[in-house]
Amino acid sequence: MVLVAKEKSSKELAKEGLLADIQKIHQASKCRYGAPKIHAELKALGKN
């Protein structure tokens, strides 16, 4: 059986980008921010 790597969809790429942003915000807050503050930071940056 041969597995073929498929290209990631735009939705998958967007999710990965959002996850990276969440991780950056969380680490910048020294792991103190929870979901509400991270959401507020993302909203302030213009991200959903």
Token pair 């507020």 is found at 40
pTM for this one? 0.80
Residue 48 has pLDDT above 80, yes or no: no
CA pair distance 32, 42, nearest whole angstrom: 15
- Give the SS3 label for residue 5: coil
CA quadruple 34, 37, 43, 46: dihedral sign: negative
**Across the chain, what does the average pLDDT equal?**
94
Residue 4's pLDDT is what? Answer: 86
> How confident is the model over 23-37, as pLDDT tens digits?
999 999 999 999 999
- Which of the four pLDDT bands, split at 50, 70 and 90, describes residue 1? confident
Angstrom CA distances, 45 to 1, 22, 37, stand at: 45, 12, 12
